Amino acid sequence: MTLLSDESTKSQSYELLYLAVEKAIRYVDSVRQRRVSPASSALAALSRFHEPFPSGSCNPTEVLKQLDALGSPATAATTGGRYFGFVNGGMVPAALAASWMAAAWNQNAALRVMSPVAAELEDVVLQWICEALGLPADCEGGLVTCATMANFTALVAARHALLERAGWNVNEDGMFGAPPIDVVVGAEVHASIRKALSMAGFGRKRVTVVDADSQGRMRSDRLPPLTERTIVCIQAGNVNTGAFDPAEEICAVAKEQRAWIHVDGAFGLWARVSPKYAPLARGFENADSWATDAHKWPNAGYDCGVVLVRNGDALRASLGVAAAYLEPGARREPMYHTPEASRRARGAELWATLKSLGRAGLCELVERSCAHAQRFAIGLRDAGFEVLNDVVINQVLVSFGSPEVTREVIQRVQEEGTCWCGGTNWQGKTAMRVSVSSWATTAADVENSLEAIVRIARDS
Ligand SMILES: *Cc1c(COP(=O)(O)O)cnc(C)c1O
C-alpha cells in the first residue's frame, strides 16, 4: 500500500474515507425504515463475495463500494429500533462516532506504552462501571470481547485464588491432580457459563446444579453445602425471563464458608443503575467477580465485555505474563487483566457511551426498555396470547399456542420483516422471546411491531 507521500494519493485516501462516511451515514439513515431481516435477494447476492483469492490488487474505492453494495443490505438491522432478538443492543451515536475515531487511531490496547490513551480510558471506564453498578470501588478488571470471555476470565481468577488457598499453584501445576474445586450453578445457568467452565478446565458436567423456580431463579433453599473450595455462579438477569437469582441470601451463605461467588450479569446487572429496578438486583455487590456486556444494555456497540474482580491480585496472578506488573507504583497494564494481549481500544467506545449517557441517560435507557417490554406484554396478553414470564425487566416470553404454531409465528415474524424476535424453549414450553435492548426503540416501533406480531399470530 502506498503511503501518503504525494498529493494525489493523499486526496485519493481522503476520498475513500469520505466515501466510507457517506455510505455509513446512508446506512444509519435508512436502517430505521428498512425491513429488519435482510431481503432474500440480499442474502442471495452474498454469494458474489465468493471468488478465488484475487491475484492482483483492487482499488480500495471499489473494495468499499462492493462491501457496501453486498454487505449493507445483508445486515440484520439491529440498530434500527425494531430488532428484539437475543439480547442484542444497538449503538448510541457517541459510540458509533467514537468507533470511527478509534479505528483511525488503530491502537493496540495491550500495554500502556503501546497506547497511553487506551490504557487511560480503560482505567476510567472500569471505575465508572463500578460506580454505576454499585460494585466495590477497588475492583480490578478488564475489557474483553464479550460476556462469555468475561465469565471465563473471572472463573480463571477464581480458580487461581481457591487453589492457591489449598496450596496449589494452578499456573505452574495445572488442573491435573489439583485439589478438587466444586462448582455450583443454577438449573437455568446461561450456556456461556458452561462453555467458560469447560475452557477453564472445570468441565461442563462436573457441576452441582441447583433447582430453579418458575422464573429461572436459583433456589437458595436448595444450595448444597459450600466450602472455601466452591465457586457459585449466580445470575443477574436470566436470558429468557430477565429474573435475578436471590443474591443476598446466596452471598450470605457463601461468605460464611468463604466460597467464591461469580455473577453472570451480562445485561441484568445494568438494572442496578435505575432506582426503580435496582431492588431486583440487590445483593450482587457482595459477590467476588462479575461479568457483563457493554454491547447489550448500554448500547456501546460490539465487541465489549467487561470483567470485574474484587481480588485484583487473583486476576493479575492468573493473567499477568511477566513479573513486570509487580513493580511498585506501576500503573495498570491492560494485558495483565485479560486473556488477550493485542486488543483494539474498545475503551474508546465505552468511554464515549458512558460519558454521553451519564447516569441519567443510562437509567433512562434501562427504564425505557423495561417500559417497552411491559407494553409488549400487555399488547400480547390483550390479543389473547400467553405471556410465560413475569416481565420484571426487558424480556418477554410469549406462546402462541402449540409448539408448532409458536414456531410458525416466529418464522413468519422474522420473514415479514417489521421486527425480529427469536425463539426459545422456556422450561419445556416453546416461546418467542422479545428482548428490548436498543436505545433506538421508540414507542412507535413497539406499536408497529406488536401490530405485525398480532396480525401474523392471528393468521397462523
Ligand atoms: C448474552 C449473555 C451471555 C453471553 O454474552 P456474549 O457477550 O454473547 O458472550 C452470558 N450470559 C447472559 C445472562 C447473557 O444474557
**CB distance 190 to 266 below 8 Å:** yes
For residue 9, is pLDDT > 90?
Answer: no
The identity of residue 428, as a single letter, is G
What is the distance between the alpha carbons of residues 26 and 72, in angstroms, rounded to a whole number? 10
What is the distance between the alpha carbons of residues 224 and 260, in angstroms, rounded to a whole number? 14
Nearest atom in ligand 1 to the alpha carbon of residue 146 is: 7
pLDDT of residue 139: 96
**CB distance 140 to 332 below 8 Å:** yes
What is the distance between the alpha carbons of residues 409 and 457, in angstroms, rounded to a whole number? 6
Tens of pLDDT, residues 260-301: 999 999 999 999 999 999 999 999 999 999 999 999 999 999
For range 208-221, the mean pLDDT: 98
Tens of pLDDT, residues 295-344: 999 999 999 999 999 999 999 999 987 655 556 568 999 999 999 999 99
Is residue 424 very low, low, confident or very high in pLDDT (cuts 50, 70, 90)? very high
192 CA distance to ligand 1 middle (Å):
6
Is the CB–ligand 1 distance for residue 344 below 6 Å? no
**CB distance 153 to 339 below 8 Å:** yes
Is residue 6 very low, low, confident or very high in pLDDT (cuts 50, 70, 90)? confident
Is the CB–ligand 1 distance for residue 239 below 6 Å? yes
Q: Would you list the domain boundaries of the chain? A: 99-353
176 CA distance to ligand 1 middle (Å):
29
**SS3 assignment, position 261:** strand
Angle between helices 7-31 and 93-105 (to 10 degrees): 160
The terminus-to-terminus CA distance of the chain in angstroms comes to 56
For range 407-431, the mean pLDDT: 97
For range 41-46, the mean pLDDT: 98
Beta bridge partners of 262: 233, 289
Architecture per CATH, domain 99-353, reads as 3-Layer(aba) Sandwich (3.40)
Q: Which ranges of 39-190 would DSSP assign to H, the alpha helix? A: 40-45, 60-66, 93-105, 116-133, 147-165, 170-173
Is residue 400 very low, low, confident or very high in pLDDT (cuts 50, 70, 90)? very high
**SS3 assignment, position 76:** coil
The grid coordinates of residue 41 equal 435477494
Nearest atom in ligand 1 to the alpha carbon of residue 190 is: 11
For residue 56, is pLDDT > 80?
Answer: yes
453 CA distance to ligand 1 middle (Å):
26
pTM: 0.96
Nearest atom in ligand 1 to the alpha carbon of residue 235 is: 13
What is the distance between the alpha carbons of residues 348 and 89, in angstroms, rounded to a whole number? 17
Is the CB–ligand 1 distance for residue 267 below 6 Å? yes
